[in-house]
Amino acid sequence: MRILFLGDIVGSPGRSAVIGNLARIKEENKIEFIIVNGENAAGGRGITPKISIDLLRAGAAVITTGDHVWDQREIQEYFPTEPRLLRPINFEKDAPGSGSVVLETAKGKVAVVNAMGRTFMNPPLENPFTMLDTEIARLREEGVRMIVVDFHAEATSEKIAMGRSLDGKVSLVVGTHTHVQTADESIFPGGTAYLTDAGMCGPDESVLGREFPSVVWRFKTGLPTRFPVAKGPVRLCGVIVDLDEESGKAKSIVRFSELIKCDNPDESESL
């Protein structure tokens, strides 16, 4: 089973590039299952029902999120209607939606689990380590062997610790949130593929997808300002993993990075 995971989609430039190129990328790379993080797809903060539908129609099998998941209020009512859209599993139990999903494929069941770190993150969260242990044990008892975890976290140490904690229990642990693709892809001794951060799908000439003059001004002055989503060429970043369908163990992991030269629409939802 070959899986493509794409990192945080940023604003209309990022989502337009993903939607417009996903079918081609799937065909060229012989991808069989696609996961995207839609955390910043709506103007750089959150996701809307329409964007979710567009990404699923474009070929995404599952959409994960993170700390900005509730920033677009209309998404709360949509969550119960779409199990393929995930929010971090360690939010309060009464939060709308689910933190995991299992999908049937021609090569067996694939589970995707979304969790969020607690170090340097704002929302009050349950312990992701203990919650993931419980959820993954449940999935494995149900016979699911191919399990992908999107760990949306700030601290590199917390991400690596999560990867080591889950080694041998899941197929892939991939980090999101920091928007910069790391170069530490590896397969741990237990057969779990790992990458600290998948990077982002957003404007290449930017600061984490935002117009850099505004961000530079903020750092220089310390004064509040708006951070519009940048324009220009978009870099799509992520990771491709090959899994053994019987054991769920990773056979290979390769970083994915492609620069898309496209005309960006106006980012009407800029912050």
What are the tens digits of pLDDT across the range 135-179? 999 999 999 999 999 999 999 999 999 999 999 999 999 999 999
Q: Which of 68, 152, 177, 179 is catalytic?
A: 68
Q: Is 179 a catalytic site residue?
A: no
Fold of the domain spanning 2-260: Purple Acid Phosphatase; chain A, domain 2 (3.60.21)
Q: Give the whole-angstrom CA distance, residue 268 versus residue 271.
A: 9
Residue 53 has pLDDT above 70, yes or no: yes
Longest CA–CA separation in the chain, Å: 56
Place of tokens 């951060």: 197
The chain-wide mean pLDDT, for the chain, equals: 95
**Per-residue model confidence as pLDDT tens digits over 58-98:** 999 999 999 999 999 999 999 999 999 999 999 998 999 99
Portion of the chain with pLDDT greater than 70, in percent: 96
Residue 264 has pLDDT above 70, yes or no: no
Domain segments of the chain as ranges: 2-260
Q: Give the whole-angstrom CA distance, residue 245 versus residue 1.
A: 6
Confidence bin at 263 (pLDDT 50/70/90): low
**Per-residue model confidence as pLDDT tens digits over 204-239:** 999 999 999 999 989 999 998 889 999 999 999 999
Averaged pLDDT, 91-115 = 96
